[in-house]
Chain A
């Protein structure tokens, strides 16, 4: 209909596209953390090419399915905008004490006022570069995080709004697995944003110096 206008080579990222991107990022971030922090034996992971780098992803089928089920629901929540935070908690297997909390804040990017020209869509390469930096940063946190020398398990928490649609038999209200403020150190990591979402990452760890 707009004959003069050239067909855009890439559509501006939609809510759905952005949601998928964020979900996917979360998958790789979780895998990277599980590998780097030794929650699962390193034999369980294999290398895949993603975001222009190699990422270690689990090949344990049970874990893969488990993460898939979680991410599917996260995806739904992201679509409805009802999730505000995702947390991966690393917990001591024996004492159940939370040792690390990897926090990913999910913010909706405010659309600029309607009067102004809509901002040009962010190129995907830029988004990927930002994701790459976060994943690299997760890897590099190993240098300062305390060494965990006990068996650990993980737990994924979703902070949702009151009104969120929750499949009753699958998701349950839970303790936030917080680390006591006095014993917690926090490091802010990089963030990345699509045209719709802005993800801010942070790691808190138990440090009793």
Chain B
């Protein structure tokens, strides 16, 4: 039609102008006007709607954040420097590369317990000696370890559902507490109560003194429970699971001996969008709880456990595998999995990044534990190394610079660890 009108407009001279105008009016296309379109057709959408949701979930795995500006792959604040190299490295052959397990614990007696496949090893930080404590039954593996508060006993969770109790000093098994049907992914002690988190989503309180050890059952997760931490005072227990839920439980166990007692969660949080393994209580503000989500969440939430309010949230570049509060400073350390494999140090409450050590391990950093002195953090990863990082130097304030250097050297000499590489097995 336009073409026809173009023709008409070209031949205006030959026909009556009034006629052309009337025709144009009738056709609704004004004269002396061109209708143009761009010569190319618009592009089709490059995004492919199939599996869009799944790709959305996998995206954090591919999006490695831009490299850090420094050559060492680490960034530190001007005012706050942390060593970007581990203080020492221990060989840990056979360490299981499984996000859901908790394979490192460090006791108040400065003893580090590490589970390597079916065996548990103890490394005494003072002497550097290594000894083997338990061994899981044939065909199974150790899925979690935790020291009792006094450091005298070690709880070992087995892949088949048993919870073992070991005397650390004598390296002797005291008892086996069975009953769980799935793997024990996390353990946490409070005095004589050893709480175990099971693959079927249940949490049991075991009274280790009692013959009938199971004193309470906490049901509040529909997926495997992989994060479990008692608050220091034993009033609250926090748990995180593969169902993306964070639960906080009242720690009162009730009448001892009432078999089948069940607890209910004080509150339940569903803000995470991936498994919650990283759980940490704040030592200097007991109501604070930090929780960190897995790969497609990668977000840290800080909760006020008294009110249940979410105080802060921080998105990180990759899955959060563990969280540690500093006992001396208002700081939180988080360890991360693929793609950054990093250690990150955040200020509280600003949540600013103070420091980051990229590629702390060759594979995802899975486990971490804090030395009793609160200065050294040990991290374990699927690359079968244990690395010790002096993240929080315990220093006396107001010392001159030269003195501070001496302090550091002295600190090194009688610190929790000594230089050197040693194999733990």
Contact = CB atoms under 8 A, between A and B. Distances in A.
Interface of A: 40-41, 43-44, 60-63, 66, 69-70, 73, 84, 153-162, 164, 166, 169-176, 178, 181
Interface residues of B, number: 25
Nearest to B6: A173
B1 interface: yes
Interface in B1-47: 1-3, 6, 28-29, 32-47
A176 B46 CA distance: 27
14 contacts: A41-B52, A43-B52, A60-B43, A60-B47, A61-B46, A66-B38, A153-B44, A154-B42, A156-B42, A158-B35, A159-B34, A160-B33, A171-B39, A172-B39
A162 B1 contact: no
Contacts of B3: 173
A155 B47 contact: no
Which of B36, B38, B46 has the most chain A CB atoms closer than 10 A to its own CB?
B36
B49 A160 contact: no
A74 to B, nearest CB: 10
A40 B34 CA distance: 28
A49 B43 CA distance: 25
Sorted nearest first, the 4 A-B pairs with minimum C-beta distance are A62-B43, A174-B37, A171-B36, A162-B32
Contact of B36 (A61, A153, A154, A166): A166
Nearest to A172: B39
A141 B190 CA distance: 61
B35 A159 contact: yes
A162 B5 CA distance: 13
Contacts of A155: 37, 41-42
A172 B36 contact: yes
Given A69-B38, A173-B2, 18 more contacts: A41-B49, A61-B46, A63-B45, A66-B40, A156-B38, A156-B42, A159-B33, A160-B34, A160-B36, A162-B32, A169-B39, A170-B38, A172-B37, A173-B6, A173-B34, A175-B1, A176-B2, A176-B29
B41 A158 contact: no
Contacts of B28: 178, 181
Q: Which of B6, B35, B40, B43 gathers most chain A CB within 10 Å?
A: B35
A176 B47 contact: no
A172 B2 CA distance: 12
Interface string B188-217: 000000000000000000000000000000
A185 to B, nearest CB: 16
Interface of B: 1-3, 6, 28-29, 32-47, 49, 52, 56
B45 A157 contact: no
A81 to B, nearest CB: 14
Contacts of A172: 36-37, 39
A60 B45 contact: yes
B35 to A, nearest CB: 5
Contacts of A156: 37-38, 42
A115 B49 CA distance: 61
A73 B42 CA distance: 15
Given A162-B34, A166-B36, A41 B42 contact: no
A158 B45 CA distance: 23
Given A43-B49, A60-B46, A153 B37 contact: no
Nearest to A170: B39
A43 B47 contact: yes
A174 B56 CA distance: 40
A174 B3 CA distance: 9
Given A41-B45, A63-B42, A178-B28, A158 B36 contact: yes
B35 A175 contact: yes
B76 to A, nearest CB: 33
Contact of A153 (B35, B42, B47): B42
Nearest to B49: A41
Nearest to B33: A159
Given A63-B42, A153-B41, A178-B28, A41 B47 contact: yes
Given A155-B42, A169-B39, A44 B34 contact: no
Contacts of A70: 38
A10 to B, nearest CB: 35
Contacts of B43: 60, 62-63, 66
A84 B36 CA distance: 12
A172 to B, nearest CB: 5
Nearest to B37: A174
A73 B39 CA distance: 12
A73 to B, nearest CB: 8
Point out which of A43, A69, A157, A171 has the most chain B C-beta atoms below 10 A from its C-beta: A43
Nearest to A58: B45
Contacts of A170: 38-39
A62 B44 CA distance: 8
Contacts of B2: 173-176
Contacts of B44: 153
Contacts of B34: 159-162, 164, 166, 173
A155 B34 CA distance: 16
A44 B44 CA distance: 11
